[in-house]
Amino acid sequence: MAGHLWVGWDEYHRHIEQLARNVHDSGYRFDHVLCLARGGLRIGDVFSRLFKVPLHIQSTSSYREAAGTQQGELRIAGNITSTAGPLAGRILLIDDLVDSGVTLERVQADLALRCRGVTEVRSAVIWYKACSIMRPDYYVDYLPDSPWIHQPFEVYDEMTVDRLTG
């Protein structure tokens, strides 16, 4: 890993929209969005709205140590939540980035075992790091130096409600 990449809100939103255009322009038509929380929540919400498909959420976590800067054991929630019923058909699996690739790989394998009605899964992320063991189907930025990405919402990681102003 070399260096850091700092991303502001405007750039973050432009990246989400570019990712949506990339998926749309590919011609892939999916029936459901499955976003991985927490990093994929905002992206999944936008995609669900733009593509008019149901949103499903699955929590995953591996960056819990050292204020979220050190990767540990991957945890994948046993349940997927949605008001649209079970996952079936073509799924677009969304996260913010693919770092090691382990999360996307494990979630896809888990879907194949647990969700018999799923016929296809493709993945979409904003950032694809060179250090990943897998290549996502759709991405906006390929990062050959695999920098640490500082996203705009991370200011809340070190904050508590009593520090809010206004």
Can you give the CATH number for the domain in which 100 is found? Answer: 3.40.50.2020
* Residue 3: burial class (beta carbons within 10 Å; 0-12, 13-18, 19+): exposed
Per-residue pLDDT reduced to its tens digit, 122-151: 999 999 999 999 999 999 999 999 999 999
Q: How far apart are CA 84 and CA 54, in angstroms?
A: 6
Residue 158 CB: number of other CB atoms within 10 A?
Answer: 9
- pLDDT score of 67: 47
Would you say residue 96 lies in a domain?
yes
What is the chain's mean pLDDT, rounded? 91
pTM comes to 0.90
The predicted model gives 49-73 an average pLDDT of 77
- pLDDT score of 64: 46
Would you say residue 26 lies in a domain?
yes
Overall number of domains in the chain? 1
Domain encompassing residue 95:
9-143
Would you say residue 148 lies in a domain?
no
Check whether the bond before 38 is cis (ω within 30° of 0).
yes
pLDDT greater than 60 at residue 35: yes
* Residue 154: burial class (beta carbons within 10 Å; 0-12, 13-18, 19+): middle
- pLDDT score of 43: 98
